[in-house]
């Protein structure tokens, strides 16, 4: 198991079933894997590589798909995050015409996320060309895809509810189970008919946490033979979820006492909604002062509206609030900002406030402006509540660099930097190990993906220590024969 040879999708010798790991291996973003079965191919996700703007442009543009897209029968998407869904418009642009299967909520969220991504592609291309950051051998760049490509990709989506069996390719049946990561996220369970019988493959996508506010608990696939599992936090344990509210209240109260602002970079999908929900609870409990809260992210506003359409896939507490006719994502001193003028007006204010803005890794969006305008004031706090990839502004802030470059200018990082890991929507080391244990010792292969190399390798070591066999951290473009 684990041979790598030639072009990944060339047929090499007889086989019934094999996996090809094409992206999101030994790194966190760019998730893309292929299940190949005797002339048929199922794509598991098609994500964008995310990181620093220039690196992302080059990785997503110059590295072509390592296969002819016409060789792919259909695709499955676990959830709507761009590192899992963001390259589907490129796939369609290059000629892919098959179905893209997802849950209904993932379909609706993807339509918004991908349109926003197309806008970012255009803005990034303009920035690269204006500053002549392109490779001179290739010349100025065009956007990776545009809105028309997004519309084409969205026309290929087929939505299926949780717990329904459906055919995704010849001799392959699929079922979506709750992943508990974000709205609509799914653990993908695949049953493949092979020469030797039935083989069950489970793919976690991104795995959520038990008892996380807003989300339902992750479900476990039934007796899989093979498991593809994420490892974002394969060697780290989060603070308890129960500490979330107390930690947030402490940061807000300490910053308010200094008459400062709390600046929170936040992913637009799930993290922003969780923050708003938690702040609302703190206000109701009078655990924090009645200071204004601004969600300065047009994308977050649109995504929050989708949450309200799917109460049935949120947790019981949120369902009860909605059943009472209340909005869990609104309160008196909360304001959602969409207009640029309103966003800019915050720069001139000196009163205490909380600003929640995207992008989550601080590589673009309005959060960069808020960081530039507030990071040099020691009374302010930059609160980090999510994963920050290597080589991003967010990672440099987490590392508490004395000076960081923002919009090409070195600036002093005088603001207090706080990190709260209990907000993470990713399972930690202990939760990942428990999930694998629930899957069972009948597993013949465990393939660890979606993690920085040190995290993936560490999780592999932990699982081997627990007695699991066939644990592999694949290399990029590696194929592994299963049957």
Low-confidence ranges of the chain (pLDDT < 50): 2-7, 11-13, 63
Residue 101 in contact with residue 77, Cβ under 8 Å?
A: yes
282/247 Cα distance (integer angstroms): 11
Q: How many CB atoms lie within 10 A of CB 37?
A: 22
| Residues 350-396: tens digit of each pLDDT | 999 999 999 888 988 899 999 999 999 999 999 999 988 888 899 99
Torsion sign (Cα): 321, 324, 330, 331: negative
pLDDT value of position 296: 97
pLDDT score for 51: 66
pTM of the model: 0.93
Burial 422-444 (b: 16+ CB within 10 A, else e): bbbbbbbbebbbebbeebeeebe
CA 216, chain centre distance (Å):
17
Measured from the Cβ of residue 243, the count of other Cβ atoms closer than 10 Å reads 14
The burial class, CB within 10 Å (0-12 / 13-18 / 19+), for 3 is exposed
Of 426, 434, 428, 396, nearest to 413 (Cα)?
396
The closest of 362, 451, 376, 446 to 407, measured between CA atoms, is 362
**Cα–Cα separations (whole angstroms), residue 117 to 80, 83, 94, 269:** 12, 11, 17, 13
Check if the beta carbon of residue 72 is closer than 8 Å to that of residue 41.
Answer: yes
**Among 213, 163, 211, 167, residue whose Cα is nearest residue 187:** 163
Q: Identify the pLDDT of residue 62.
A: 52
Backbone angles phi, psi at 281, to 5 degrees: -65, -40
Residues belonging to the chain = 483
**Quick one: pLDDT at residue 75?**
98
Domain residue ranges in the chain? 18-236+425-481, 241-423
- Output the pLDDT for position 4: 44
* Per-residue CA distances from 141 to 62, 133, 155 (Å): 10, 10, 27
SS3 for 337-404 is: ECCHHHHHHHHHCCCCEEEEECCCCCCCCHHHHHHHHHCCCCCCEEEECCCCCCCCHHHHHHCCCCEE
414 CB-near residues (< 8 Å, 6+ apart): 375, 376, 377, 378
Q: What is the pLDDT, as a whole number, of residue 13?
A: 47
- One of 3.60.15.10, 3.40.50.720, 3.20.20.80, 1.20.58.390 is the CATH number of 18-236+425-481, namely 3.60.15.10
Going from the C-alpha of 1 to that of each of 228, 470, 472, the distances in angstroms are 14, 8, 9
Interatomic CA distance for residues 268 and 264, integer angstroms:
12
What is the CATH class of 241-423?
A: alpha beta
**Structure-block tokens of residue 243:** 């500490």
181, 201 contact by CB (below 8 A): no
**Is there a shared CATH topology between the 18-236+425-481 domain and the 241-423 domain?**
no
Quote the distance between the C-alpha of residue 396 and its chain's center. Answer: 20
């Amino acid at each position: 198991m684990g041979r790598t040879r030639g072009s990944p999708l060339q047929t090499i010798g007889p086989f019934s079933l094999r996996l090809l790991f094409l992206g999101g291996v030994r790194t966190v973003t760019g998730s893309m894997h292929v299940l190949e079965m005797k002339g048929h191919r199922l794509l598991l996700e098609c994500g964008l590589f995310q990181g620093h703007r220039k690196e992302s442009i080059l990785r997503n543009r110059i590295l072509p798909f390592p296969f002819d897209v016409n060789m792919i029968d259909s695709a499955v998407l676990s959830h709507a995050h761009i590192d899992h869904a963001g390259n589907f418009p490129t796939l369609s642009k290059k000629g892919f015409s098959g179905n893209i299967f997802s849950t209904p909520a993932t379909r609706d969220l993807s339509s918004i996320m991908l349109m926003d991504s197309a806008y970012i592609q255009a803005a990034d291309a303009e920035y690269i060309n204006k500053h002549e950051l392109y490779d001179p051998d290739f010349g100025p760049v065009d956007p990776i895809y545009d809105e028309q490509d997004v519309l084409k990709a969205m026309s290929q989506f087929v939505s299926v509810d949780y717990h329904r069996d459906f055919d995704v390719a010849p001799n392959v049946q699929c079922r979506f189970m709750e992943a508990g990561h974000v709205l609509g996220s799914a653990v993908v369970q695949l049953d493949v008919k092979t020469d030797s019988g039935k083989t069950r493959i489970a793919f976690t996508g991104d795995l959520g946490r038990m008892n996380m506010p807003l989300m339902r608990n992750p479900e476990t696939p039934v007796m899989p033979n093979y498991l593809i599992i994420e490892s974002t936090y394969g060697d780290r344990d989060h603070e308890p979820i129960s500490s979330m509210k107390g930690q947030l209240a402490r940061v807000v109260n300490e910053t308010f006492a200094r008459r400062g602002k709390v600046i929170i970079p936040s992913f637009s999908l799930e993290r922003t909604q969780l923050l708003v929900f938690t702040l609302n609870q703190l206000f109701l409990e009078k655990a924090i002062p009645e200071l204004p809260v601004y969600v300065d992210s047009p994308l977050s506003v649109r995504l929050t509206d989708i949450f309200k359409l799917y109460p049935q896939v949120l947790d019981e507490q949120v369902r009860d609030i909605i059943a009472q006719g209340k909005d869990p994502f609104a309160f008196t001193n909360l304001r959602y900002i969409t207009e640029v003028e309103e966003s800019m007006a915050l720069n001139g204010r000196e009163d205490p406030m909380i600003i929640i803005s995207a992008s989550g890794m601080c590589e673009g969006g309005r959060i960069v402006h808020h960081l530039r305008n507030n990071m040099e004031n020691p009374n302010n706090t930059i609160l980090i509540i999510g994963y920050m990839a290597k080589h991003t502004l967010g990672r440099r802030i987490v590392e508490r660099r004395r000076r960081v470059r923002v919009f090409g200018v070195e600036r002093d990082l005088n603001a207090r930097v706080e990190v709260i890991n209990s907000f993470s929507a990713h399972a930690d080391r202990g939760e990942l190990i428990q999930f694998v244990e629930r899957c069972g010792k009948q597993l013949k292969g465990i393939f660890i993906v979606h993690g920085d190399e040190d995290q993936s390798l560490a999780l592999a070591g932990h699982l081997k220590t627990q007695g699991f066999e066939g644990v592999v951290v694949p290399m990029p473009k590696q194929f592994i024969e299963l049957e």
